[in-house]
Amino acid sequence: MFYYLFNYFSQLGMPGAGVFKYISFRAALAFICALLIATFIGKKIIQYLQKKQIGETIRDLDLAGQMAKKGTPTMGGVIIIVSILVPVLFFAKLDNIYIILMVISTIWLGIMGFWDDYIKVFKKDKEGMKGRYKIIGQIGIGFLVAMTLYLSDDVVIRENTTTIRQDTEVVEYVNKSEKSTKTTIPFVKNNNFDYSYIFTWAGENAQVLGWIFFMLMVIIVVTAVSNGANLTDGLDGLSTGVSAIIGITLVILAYLSSHVEFASYLNIMYIPNSEELVIFLCAFVGALIGFLWYNAYPAQVFMGDTGSLMIGGVIAVSAIIIRKELLLPILCGIFFVESLSVILQTSYFKYTRKKYGEGRRIFLMAPLHHHYQKKNIPESKIVARFWIITILLAMLTIITLKIR
């Protein structure tokens, strides 16, 4: 909104109006605005949730100290969603295909999570939305994202090449934009991998099969990361802090991918028009940090599925847009370990119950953060350590751009 307004003022010759053309300026404003909105409206929303008694009724009350959390307001993800969307509407180019995709993904998964929380709180059904409906919703947004990336003429990539001329290294920019199913593989020198390479045996149909495989990958990544973020949301500030660190990393990756010179220097794909994604992600990080003001231990509000499903979806879709989805197992390592702990726990319990007549467990409790809580490690210490691990994983993700 402001971008178009000040662009008009700039054309009229207003001094200083042209500053809105700079991504760094608008991204900084989006971050500050999101943080302030989350901080200031957060208190009002929490008071409203308390007044309406929209509180957490079931939250692993068998754990020591969790009884005190009964009644803490939930559905706080609304704070995060509002704090993201308002700055994006103010400072981003609203006709940008990537902004449109991110806004749709945020609203779609936010509504899904809200309905899940609504069933838990008002219908008194601790299971919430049926698992199959949740998966259908996640597959739906994944399919929408994949089809948009496939069909939209605005979604293209450019690859930079380096040539040697008369013993002088010269960087040449390939001006030809193309639609592609290429992605980035970490720790590989020539790390652009085309999914269609898997189907070279299919001859002329390889590219079509590559796009189909790409769409399946998008759906799997969105579903996996969304569920991972949801499972990680079990301790005060855990998912919020981890997601903020991941968000900061994605800001860096998106900026590098949107800048032709940085992309050329790092020999990564240049994604035209993806610079607007930096603004969205800065708003995302600002909203999370602002929400952490109230969500840090002891939490005054929980994000609920309204926030956690949306957060995972935003992380997944933004990584897919800049073709860094294969870096997510590293960057989102906490999410994947949490999910893996649940899968292993459930599978092993069913296997031992069938074989020995009684179910046995690998962990004291799953997801993994509850295992450590059962070992009487203070909640705040568990959260801090998970944050530290995420920072290390974030640094490892960034250095994969150079270590090949």
Q: What is the pLDDT of residues 292-321, one digit of tens each?
A: 999 999 999 999 999 999 999 999 999 999
More confident residue, 186 or 348: 348
Q: Is residue 17 part of a domain?
A: no
How confident is the model over 339-359, as a mean pLDDT?
Answer: 92
Q: Find the range with the poorest average confidence among 80-94, 97-111, 196-210.
A: 196-210
What pTM value is reported for the model? 0.91
pLDDT of residue 61: 42
Q: Is residue 13 part of a domain?
A: no
Domain boundaries, position 363: 28-399
**Could you tell me the two tokens for 238?**
């855990």
Residue 402 banded pLDDT, cuts 50, 70, 90: confident
Q: Find the range with the poorest average confidence among 58-67, 94-103, 240-249, 269-278.
A: 58-67
pLDDT of residue 70: 66
How confident is the model over 70-94, as a mean pLDDT?
Answer: 91
Q: Residues of the chain with pLDDT > 90: what percent? A: 63
Q: Is residue 126 part of a domain?
A: yes
Whether the predicted pLDDT of 248 surpasses 60: yes
State the SS3 of the chain.
CHHHHHHHHHHCCCCCHHHHHCHHHHHHHHHHHHHHHHHHHHHHHHHHHHHCCCECCCCCCCCCCHHHHCCCECCCHHHHHHHHHHHHHHHCCCCCHHHHHHHHHHHHHHHHHHHHHHHHHHCCCCCCCCHHHHHHHHHHHHHHHHHHHHHCCCCCEECCEEEEECCEEEEECCCCCECCCEEECCCCCCCEEEHHHHHHHHHHHHHHHHHHHHHHHHHHHHHHHHHHHHHHCCCCCHHHHHHHHHHHHHHHHHHHHHCHHHHHHHCCCECCCCHHHHHHHHHHHHHHHHHHHHHCCCCCCCCHHHHHHHHHHHHHHHHHHCCCHHHHHHHCHHHHHHHHHHHHHHHHHHHHHHHHCCCCCCCCCCCHHHHHHHCCCCHHHHHHHHHHHHHHHHHHHHHCCCCC
Q: Is residue 11 part of a domain?
A: no
How many domains are contained in the chain?
1
Q: Is residue 213 part of a domain?
A: yes
Whether the predicted pLDDT of 144 surpasses 70: yes
